[in-house]
Structures are given as C-alpha cells and as structure tokens.
Structure 1
C-alpha cells in the first residue's frame, strides 16, 4: 500500500516540479505587460490571457501537490486539538466522504462542457485572445483526477498508520 502511495505522490511531485515555474513565468509576463503598456504603449490581449492560463494551470494542477504537502485549507475547529488517532479518522472521513465524492461530482458535471469545448475547439475568451479555451477547460477534469489520486495516496497512508497503532 505504501508503494502505491509513493507512486501517486511521485505524480504530484513531478507535476509540481514543472508547474512551479509557471509562477515565475506569470510574474515575468505580467511585468512585460506593464512595461509594454505604460512605457511603449503596446498591449496584447493574448499575452494578458497567457497570464490567466498560467494562473489557472498553476492552481488547478498544483492542488494535488498542495494536498500532499498538507498545505491546503483546513477547518481546525476539532483537528488542531485532536490526538493523532482522531486526526487520522478526520482525514479518512474527509477523503472518503467529502473530497473524493465532490471531485467525482465535479468531474461528472464538468465533463460535457469540456467535451463540447474540445468538439468545437472553443476559441478565445476575448477578441484577440488565445484560441484555446478548450485547453483551460481541460484543467477542470485534470484537477479532479489529480486530487482524487492524491487523496487515495493520503488514504493509503492513513490506513497503514491506523494498522500500526
């Protein structure tokens, strides 16, 4: 079970090693946009949308890694004061009854929109923008799948820990 968890973790780490550079790219492109607009009077909708695409990819594809590193948003009302066994039970409950089902529902309901977007190769958000909205919409199922995989890894680790105690 731990080998499976490590394999799933490797997926999240691999994706994170690529998308972490998106943050730097976003900063540099945004800086270029500001300099271009206010110093040279040049503007590009496509370049502006590029920042949007990078931002969306960074957060949607990085969610699994965030879960792996335990840096996601957590409601600490009970969790912060709980012992290790109670925390493990809360985590198992959260993965089994909240995270995985919600990702499955989101995947199910978003799939027709993504499929239709690919069928027509949906064009830009704005006139002159990037002609690839279908790629951005594809981040939704990718987000769901990556979170489900990382959730399964967390569950496997929690079950192994539960058996040890």
Structure 2
C-alpha cells in the first residue's frame, strides 16, 4: 500500500511541477496576444485559443497538486483553532464525504459530454481557431482522476494519523499547518 500511495503522490507532484511551467508559457502567450493587438493592431485567434486551452489545462491539471500542498481556498474560521487531531478529522471526513462524492459526480456527469465531443470530432469553427476541442474537454476527466488519486493519498495520510502510526507518507507539506491563514 505504501508503494501505491508513494506512486500516486509522485504522480501528483510531477504533474503539478509540469503545470507550473505551463503558467510561464501562458503568461508569454498572453503577452504576445496583447502586444499583437495593441502595438501591431492585429488579432491572433490561434494564440488566443492556445492561451485559453492552456489556462484550462493549468486549472484542471493542477488541482491534485493544489490539494496535495493544501493550497486550495479554505475559509477556516474554526479549522485553525482545532487541535492537530481535529484538523485530521476535518480533512479525513471532508475528503471522504465531500471531495470524493463531488469528484465522482463530476466524472459521471462529464463522461458523456467528453465522449460526445470525441465522437463528433468537435473543433473550433471560428476563423483561425484551433481544432481539437475534444482534447481540451478531456481535461475534465483528467481532473477527476488526479483528484481521486490525491484524495486516496489524503485519506491514507489522515487515516494513518488518526488510526495508525502518525501519517503523511510522502507528503510534500504538512497538510495541517495553516498558521496565519484564514479569517
């Protein structure tokens, strides 16, 4: 089990680091679009579409990494006052009762949406737009897979901390340290 958890954790970490480079490319593409538009008075639909595709990829592919590093948005009015054990309970139950069901719902709901897009070979019909919209929509399924993999790691780590030998196997950060965060 430890090897499976370590593999899931590694995959999440690697994909997150890869996505971080995509943000630099996104920044450069956006800069190019702005320069072309306002300096040279010309449009670049393909560049705009590429930036849009990349923007979606950053959010969908980076979700598992964000969860792993506990960098998601949290309104922790009460959480920050909880004991370490209380925080593990909140994270364990939140993952089990909220994250996993919502992620599975998203996967079930969007599967046919993505499959239909592949079946019809959906493409951009705008002048100069990029084809392969079905590939972009497939990122929704990758989002689901990455969140489920990281949710399993989170359940294992928090479960181990609560019921086992103290937890956080291969975690890149302490998931319960939120000093100075929240309201």
The 3 A distance-change label for structure 1 pair 125 and 105 is farther
2:124 maps to which residue? 124
The structure whose residues are more often helix, as a share, is 1
Is 1:36 matched with 2:6?
A: no
Say if 1:12 and 1:68, in contact at 8 Å, map to a contact too. Answer: yes
1:27 & 1:125 partners in 2: Cα distance? 25
Is 1:20 matched with 2:20?
A: yes
Matches within 5 A, 1:102-121: 102-121=102-121
1:95 & 1:11 partners in 2: Cα distance? 19
Deviation at 1:129, TM superposition (A): 1.1
Matches within 5 A, 1:1-165: 1-124=1-124, 126-162=126-162, 163-164=164-165
1:159 & 1:125 partners in 2: Cα distance? 49
Give 4+ residue runs of structure 1 displaced > 6 Å after superposition.
Answer: none
Aligned length: 165
Say if 2:36 and 2:44, in contact at 8 Å, map to a contact too. Answer: no
Say if 2:23 and 2:58, in contact at 8 Å, map to a contact too. Answer: yes
Unpaired runs of 5+ in structure 1?
none
Q: Supply the RMSD in Å over aligned alpha carbons.
A: 1.4
Deviation at 1:125, TM superposition (A): 6.4
Unpaired runs of 5+ in structure 2?
167-183
1:89 & 1:27 partners in 2: Cα distance? 39
- Length-normalised TM-score, structure 2: 0.85
Moved more, 146-155 or 4-13: 4-13
2:13 & 2:126 partners in 1: Cα distance? 34
Deviation at 1:4, TM superposition (A): 2.6
